[in-house]
């Protein structure tokens, strides 16, 4: 079967485009955050999509030419036809419906039969081969649609890496000259996915035992207790708090879409520094950065391959792939499977929630959010005498995946470990959702540690006292059964909209609390006013002049409908949240797990009904106590701790097994008991035939800065 070189190449391009390129570009063209998270904007984006379209067919074509030279036309032609048939099978796989053919075995059968049929047709029909070559015309059409008509087109004007493209329509102003005075340094810190009620202690204040940095900030700054965000997603909320304009989900979160922002208005009189892990709102050449990589080409290729695998796989196989519905990058780090999908429905019929033991590894990397944050702190410049500093720090904490302890120590939970959730939507089982709250609170403690590091850095640079420091979050996160974490409804509005907003004015020494309807939209006009610049045409108001009157609040999601709620209803929801979360508040970190341990487990421990592990048929394979935090305990705590450790060495600490019914779900809990005191508890999950548990200690007399984690495996 003689085949010309150009025909073979066009066939490969056509089959590759139909099987992989077109579905990939169609899906990611609407998900611009995927490319922003990887730093693929501007010419990098163009080069990536062009290379991804042409390089694999070119490599396959070169292999075909090499085979033809070494083994002859017949062998090379058959190998080429087999490759084309395999690509055609990939086109058919996503069409397999749920049911028997959606299982891995059914998908394999479909793939084999489709490949065999396509092979036979291509071998015997010249018309089929020429038709496949004509499909190569889809490649330039797919590229044109992606680069010119999809939402991703807005990324072409965004700065990437060392690009020095200036923002279109950039406006810069200089403050009016005031003898003897210069504009203050401005530091804007934005946490990610942090609802303000998680910081509260149940009495209307900030929980000092768990969040000392936020508590310390509240003592010297103005806390706008009922502040809200107008956006429920980073990609609409961050542009709003940088520009002062209402969220617009039709705009990409890049500078080209927002020609006027704090960066463009302050550029003439301020030195600019920006740490933007998820947006590109500062594309000015003078905007300094930490230089922290967003993952690079290798990470983009890995994540793109995972996206393609999810697109072309039938449901039965897709459920076994790393999930791509919870973050926009590092999918291998947030993998999940079919058991997680079953948990979303509130069921654990086979007891196979895929959750490995939370295992802290001393040599493990910090993780991108913490490493990027630390790099930004180190790169934070000193104020030049002739120009003050405007620093924008977006910190991806406590955003999922939840994998940090309050001391910024990292553990791994593979898969993601967020049981009871599929994508962004919680299931209906409240007990499963409650099991995730401690992990969320731990990571919120990590955010507090980050804030403490920022304050310490500003003090070390001599900037703290005379600076305007604004600390907020882009949006919150909901824990409402049957609802999305960031999908606003009238039920979870306050969970998502309610965000912390602290403003430390220059030389402010004493904190105060404001209860009005402040908004993150008020940040840009406030910053501009303090800098001595005009703030015309913005949706918010200067908070120095008081909180504007807002009778209704609106949340805008990245996808879906806007939700509006009266401010009075918002305040009532906030009060209800404070009451509901009160059982998680106060008492330091050792009491976090107490809130979720079932009453039957606590009662059995109090009554002294514990049994030894071997009596239950359980075998402890490993038992490790791990320390978090470096602050030594007080002398009384140390004596109590020695007694507890001695009890464990003599066998007084035993394992208690309790099975608890939660509706259709049946959960087994393991408890560790010293004497008649329950000092640790956790649910047990099965994975690959083994049961795993991670026990967080509580009730044991340890310092509030010494959260101890007991990890073991039972079978």
SS (H, E, C) 453-485: HHHHHHHHCCCCCCCEEEEEECCCCCCCCCCEC
Residue 622 CB coordination number (10 Å): 10
| Cα-based torsion angle of the residue sequence 92, 94, 100, 103 in order, rounded to the nearest 10 degrees | 110
CATH number for the domain spanning 557: value is 3.40.720.10
DSSP 674: E
Label residue 319 by pLDDT band (50, 70, 90): low
Over residues 271-283, the mean pLDDT reads: 90
Specify the pLDDT at position 170: 46
Encoded tokens for 583: 């059982």
Overall average pLDDT of the 463-473 stretch:
95
Q: Of 545 and 108, which is predicted with more confidence?
A: 545
DSSP reduced 3-state for 623: strand
3-class DSSP assignment, residue 689:
coil
Question: 666's torsion region: left (phi>0), alpha (psi -120 to 50) or beta?
Answer: beta
Stretch (H or E) spanning 709: strand 708-714
Which one has a higher pLDDT value, 660 or 378?
A: 378
Q: Specify if 84 maps to a domain.
A: yes
Residue 467: CB atoms within 10 Å: 22
- d(CA 18, CA 311) in angstroms, rounded, equals 12
In sequence order, the β-bridge partners of residue 713 are 692
Mean pLDDT across 685-701: 42
Reading the block at residue 508, the tokens are: 């402010």
Q: Which two tokens stand for residue 635?
A: 């002398």
Residue 76 in tokens: 């090379």
Same domain, 142 and 197: no
SS3 672: strand
How high is the pLDDT of residue 405? Answer: 74
Cβ(497)–Cβ(217) below 8 Å: no
Count, in order, helices (H) and strands (E) of the chain. 21, 19
Residue 74 has pLDDT above 70, yes or no: yes
Give me 359's structure tokens: 């295992």
The verdict on residue 508 lying in a domain is yes
Confidence of residue 331 (pLDDT cuts 50, 70, 90): confident
- And the tokens for 631? 């602050």
Same domain, 85 and 109: yes
Average pLDDT, the chain: 75
pLDDT mean over 422-443: 75
Q: Look at residue 73 in the predicted model and tell me its pLDDT.
A: 86
How sure is the predictor about 118, in pLDDT bands with cuts at 50, 70 and 90? confident
Cα distance between residue 463 and residue 317, in whole Å: 54
Residues 539 and 676 in one domain: no
Tell me, yes or no, whether 565 and 607 share the same domain.
no
DSSP alpha helices (H): ranges in 221-365?
234-243, 262-266, 296-312, 315-318, 338-344
Tell if the pTM clears 0.85, that is, is over it: no
Token pair 């086109």 is at which residue?
Answer: 91
Q: Tell me which H or E stretch contains 376.
A: helix 368-379
Does residue 9 form part of some domain?
yes
* Average pLDDT for 554-568: 93
More confident residue, 229 or 363: 229
Is residue 335 pLDDT above 60, yes or no? no
Give the per-residue pLDDT at 677.
Answer: 53
Q: Which of 536, 552, 584 is the last residue of a domain?
A: 584
Residue 496 pLDDT > 50:
yes
Query: How much is the average pLDDT of 102-121?
Result: 81
Query: For the chain, what is the radius of gyration of the CA atoms?
Result: 28
- Residue with more model confidence, 113 or 392: 392
**End-to-end CA gap in the chain:** 60
Q: Do 531 and 595 share a domain, yes or no? A: no
d(Cα 710, Cα 698) in Å, to the nearest integer?
11
Which has the closest alpha carbon to 432: 442, 417, 420, 414?
420
Task: Note whether 569 and 630 are same-domain residues.
Answer: no
Determine, yes or no, domain membership for 525. yes
Q: Is residue 148 part of a domain?
A: yes
Residue 487 has pLDDT above 50, yes or no: yes
Tokens representing 597 are 């341990």
Answer whether residue 448 shows pLDDT above 90: yes
Six-digit token string for 608:
């002294």
Q: Domain check: are 44 and 23 in the same one?
A: yes
Residue 341 maps to a domain = no
Domain final position from 584, 599, 632: 584
Lowest mean pLDDT among 3-7, 123-127, 402-406, 419-423: 419-423
Residue given tokens 């069409």 in the structure block: 95
pLDDT value of position 340? 34
> Are 563 and 601 within one domain?
no
Report angle CA 548, 510, 530 to the nearest 5 degrees: 45
366 — pLDDT class (breaks 50, 70, 90): low
Number of structural domains the chain divides into: 3
Contact, 245 vs 149, CB < 8 A?
no
Burial class, 62, CB count within 10 angstroms (exposed 0-12 / middle 13-18 / buried 19+): exposed
Phi, psi of 6 (to 5 degrees): -60, -40
Buried residues in 652-673 as b, exposed as e (16+ CB within 10 A):
ebbbbbbebeeeebebbbbbbb
pLDDT of residue 395: 94
Of 568, 584, 600, the residue that ends a domain is 584
What's the full length of the chain, in residues? 715
Range of the domain at 543: 186-293+375-584
Q: What confidence category does residue 314 fall into, taking pLDDT thresholds of 50, 70 and 90?
A: confident
Q: How far apart are CA 170 and CA 317, in angstroms?
A: 48
Within 8 A by CB and 6+ apart from 132, the residues are 11, 14, 15, 84, 122
Residue 558: is its pLDDT beyond 60? Answer: yes
Tell which residue, 630, 632, 636, 645, has the closest CA to residue 697: 645
DSSP code of residue 492: T
Tokens encoding 193: 């996915």
User: How many angstroms from the chain centroid is the CA of residue 292?
Assistant: 18
Looking at per-residue pLDDT, the higher value among 289 and 474 belongs to 474
- What are the structure tokens assigned to 595, written together? 């809130």
Contacts of 248 (CB under 8 A, 6+ apart): 236, 239, 556
Question: Residue 250 falls within a domain, yes or no?
Answer: yes
3-state secondary structure of 448: helix
Residue 666's beta-bridge partner residues? Answer: 661
Q: What pLDDT, on a 0 to 100 scale, did the predictor assign at position 429?
A: 67
Inform me whether the pLDDT recorded for 443 exceeds 70: yes
CA-based angle 63:130:83, to the nearest 5?
Answer: 30
- Paired tokens of 525: 């006009």
Is 200 part of any domain? yes
DSSP-derived 3-state class of residue 498: strand
Q: Running DSSP on this structure, what letter comes out for residue 17?
A: I
As a whole number, mean pLDDT of residues 316-327 equals 69
Asked whether the predicted pLDDT for residue 263 surpasses 60, the reply is: yes
Q: Where are the beta strands (DSSP E) in 167-246?
A: 186-191, 222-224
Q: What percent of the chain is modeled with pLDDT above 90?
A: 33
Residues 489 and 463 both lie in one domain: yes
- Whether the CB-CB separation of 531 and 266 falls below 8 Å is answered with yes
Strand 623-627 and strand 708-714: the pairing is antiparallel
Helix then strand then coil, % of the chain, to nearest 5: 45, 15, 40
139-168: per-residue pLDDT in tens? 999 999 998 888 888 788 765 443 433 444
Q: Are residues 593 and 687 in the same domain?
A: yes
What phi and psi, each to the nearest 5 degrees, are found at residue 174?
-115, 135
Q: CA-to-CA distance for 475 and 520, rounded, in angstroms?
A: 10
The per-residue pLDDT for 673 is 54
Nearest alpha carbon to residue 176 among 525, 545, 531? 531
pLDDT at 554 over 80: yes
Nearest C-alpha neighbor of 398 from the set 211, 546, 186: 211
Please report the pLDDT score of residue 621 as a whole number.
35
Which of 201, 377, 172, 181 minimizes the C-alpha distance to 273? 377
CA distance 36 to 280: 7
pLDDT of the residue at 360: 31
If you average pLDDT over residues 462-483, what whole number do you get? 93
The DSSP H or E segment spanning 495 is helix 493-497
Alpha-carbon span 665 to 610, nearest angstrom: 24
> Which pLDDT belongs to residue 662?
37
If pLDDT is split at 50, 70 and 90, which confidence band does 630 have? very low
> In which band, very low, low, confident or very high, does the pLDDT at 685 lie, cut at 50, 70 and 90?
very low
Residues 521 and 575 in one domain: yes
Give the confidence band of 419 by pLDDT, cuts at 50, 70, 90. Answer: low
- Going by pLDDT thresholds of 50, 70 and 90, the confidence category of residue 667 is very low
Pair 68, 83 in one domain: yes
What pLDDT does 605 receive? 52
- Residues in Cβ contact with 323 at an 8 Å cutoff, skipping those fewer than 6 apart: 331, 334, 335, 336, 337, 340, 415, 416, 423
Given a cut of 60, is residue 348 above it in pLDDT? no
* Strand bridging mode 389-395 / 271-275: parallel
């Amino acid at each position: 079967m003689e085949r010309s070189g150009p025909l073979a190449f066009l066939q490969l391009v056509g089959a590759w485009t139909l099987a992989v390129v077109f579905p990939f570009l169609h899906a990611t063209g609407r998900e611009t955050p995927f490319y922003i998270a990887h730093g693929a904007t501007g010419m990098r984006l163009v080069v990536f999509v062009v290379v991804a379209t042409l390089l694999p067919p070119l490599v396959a074509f070169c292999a075909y030419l090499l085979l033809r030279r070494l083994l002859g036309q017949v062998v090379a032609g058959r190998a080429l036809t087999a490759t084309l048939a395999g690509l055609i099978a990939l086109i058919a796989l996503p069409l397999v419906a749920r049911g028997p053919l959606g299982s891995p075995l059914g998908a394999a059968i479909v793939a084999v039969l489709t490949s065999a049929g396509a092979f036979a047709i291509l071998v015997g029909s010249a018309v089929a081969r020429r038709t496949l070559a004509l499909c190569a015309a889809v490649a330039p059409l797919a590229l044109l649609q992606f680069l010119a008509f999809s939402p991703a087109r807005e990324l072409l004007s965004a700065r990437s890496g060392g690009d020095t493209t200036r923002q279109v329509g950039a406006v810069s102003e200089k403050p009016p000259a005031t003898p003897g005075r210069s504009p203050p340094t401005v530091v804007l810190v934005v946490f990610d996915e942090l609802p303000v009620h998680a910081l509260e202690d149940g009495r209307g204040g900030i929980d000092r035992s768990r969040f000392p940095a936020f508590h310390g900030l509240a003592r010297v700054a103005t806390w706008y207790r009922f502040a809200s965000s107008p956006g429920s997603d980073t990609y609409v909320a961050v542009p709003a708090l940088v520009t002062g304009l209402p969220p617009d989900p039709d705009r990409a979160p890049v500078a080209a879409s927002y020609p006027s922002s704090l960066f463009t208005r302050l550029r003439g009189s301020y030195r600019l520094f920006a740490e933007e892990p998820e947006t590109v709102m500062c594309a000015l050449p003078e905007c300094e950065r930490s230089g922290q990589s967003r993952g690079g080409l290798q990470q983009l290729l890995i994540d793109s391959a995972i996206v393609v695998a999810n697109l072309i796989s039938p449901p039965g196989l897709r459920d076994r792939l790393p999930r791509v519905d919870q973050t926009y990058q590092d999918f291998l780090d947030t993998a999940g499977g079919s058991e997680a999908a079953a948990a979303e429905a509130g069921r654990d019929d086979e007891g196979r929630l895929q959750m490995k033991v939370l295992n802290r590894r001393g040599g493990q990397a910090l993780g991108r959010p913490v490493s990027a944050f630390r790099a930004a702190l180190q790169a934070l410049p000193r104020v030049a005498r002739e120009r003050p500093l405007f620093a924008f720090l977006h910190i991806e904490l406590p955003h999922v995946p939840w994998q940090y302890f309050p001391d910024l120590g990292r553990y791994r939970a593979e898969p993601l470990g967020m049981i009871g959730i599929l994508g962004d939507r919680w299931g209906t089982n409240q007990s499963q959702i409650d099991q995730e709250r401690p992990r969320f609170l731990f990571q919120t403690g990590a955010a507090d540690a980050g804030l403490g590091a920022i304050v310490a850095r500003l003090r070390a640079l001599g900037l703290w006292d005379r600076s305007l420091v604004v600390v907020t979050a882009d949006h919150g996160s909901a824990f409402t059964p049957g609802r999305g974490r960031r999908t606003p409804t009238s039920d979870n509005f306050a969970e998502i909209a309610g965000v912390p907003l602290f403003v430390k004015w220059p030389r402010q020494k004493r904190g105060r609390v404001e209860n009005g309807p402040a908004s993150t939209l008020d940040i840009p006009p406030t910053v501009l006013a303090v800098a001595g610049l005009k703030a015309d045409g913005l949706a918010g108001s200067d908070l120095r002049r008081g909180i504007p009157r807002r009778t209704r609040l609106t949340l805008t999601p990245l996808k879906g409908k806007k939700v509006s709620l009266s401010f009075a209803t918002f305040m009532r929801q906030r009060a209800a949240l404070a009451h509901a979360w009160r059982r998680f508040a106060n008492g330091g970190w050792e009491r976090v797990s107490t809130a979720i341990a079932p009453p039957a487990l606590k009662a059995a421990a109090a009554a002294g009904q514990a049994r030894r592990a071997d009596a239950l048929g359980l075998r402890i394979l490993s038992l490790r106590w791990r320390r978090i935090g470096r602050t030594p305990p007080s002398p009384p705590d140390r004596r109590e701790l020695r007694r507890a450790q001695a009890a464990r060495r003599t066998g007084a600490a035993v394992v208690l097994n309790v099975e608890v019914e939660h509706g259709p779900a049946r959960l087994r809990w393991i408890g560790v008991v010293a004497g008649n005191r329950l000092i640790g508890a956790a649910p047990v999950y099965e994975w690959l035939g083994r049961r795993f548990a991670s026990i967080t200690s509580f009730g044991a007399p340890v310092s509030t800065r010494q959260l101890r984690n007991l990890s073991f495996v039972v079978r």
